[in-house]
Amino acid sequence: MYLIVGLGNPEKQYEKTYHNLGYIAVGDAAEKLGAKFKKKECEASVAEAFVGGEKIVLARPLTYMNNSGRAVKQLMAKYKIPPENLLVIYDDYDLPKGKVRIRAGGSAGTHNGMRSVIGETGLTNFARIRIGIRDEEVNIPIINYVLSEIRKDDYELYGAACKKAGEEAAVFASGETIEKVMGKYN
């Protein structure tokens, strides 16, 4: 069983913000896997898919970004997800805009949602897909930037990045090792 989590904020006002790229990408993964977000459990909106008989749980925490770890911890406990079968997708200010990177583990960097996930689960050894949002042309505080609406000129770039992240997540959930997924996409 696999758990794919896209970080973001649940309200409509955040829908097209940089901080919701994880929500968008997990939606793309769900679409690729033929799943729909139909139920709410463990403080998350949840979709389920099956690949080769293996259950895949896709989630969008409803706890807001800074408390995302609560939902992840609850879902991992409910579905007995081992760390190696957890994948978290999120926006990352430490990467240039539109870049997509998959990693086998690491720190939270500057991301409060990932700090929450790591703090609540006590884990750093889980896969993550980071979607870069740093724009050298923007000179505002990070908190204001991540909660601002994506610039219309960049819709296509971020749409492609989210689709790529969703595809990577679907490949990971099909049973490929994180190392193979990294080798294929990074």
Annotation marks residue 19 as catalytic:
yes
Kindly report, residue by residue over 23-34, the tens digit of the pLDDT.
999 999 999 999
Boundaries of every domain in the chain: 2-185
Confidence (pTM): 0.96
**How much is the average pLDDT of 121-128?**
97
Question: Closest Cα partner for 131 from 152, 153, 113?
Answer: 113
Percentage with pLDDT > 90 across the chain: 90
Q: Which spans in the chain are helix H?
A: 21-33, 68-79, 112-121, 142-146, 155-173, 178-185
The class level of CATH for 2-185 reads: alpha beta
Question: Closest Cα partner for 42 from 17, 66, 22, 69?
Answer: 69
pLDDT value at 110 more than 90: no
The tokens describing 175, both together, are 């049973």
Which backbone phi and psi does 79 adopt, to 5 degrees?
Answer: -95, 5
Of these residues, 19, 60, 111, 128, which one is catalytic? 19
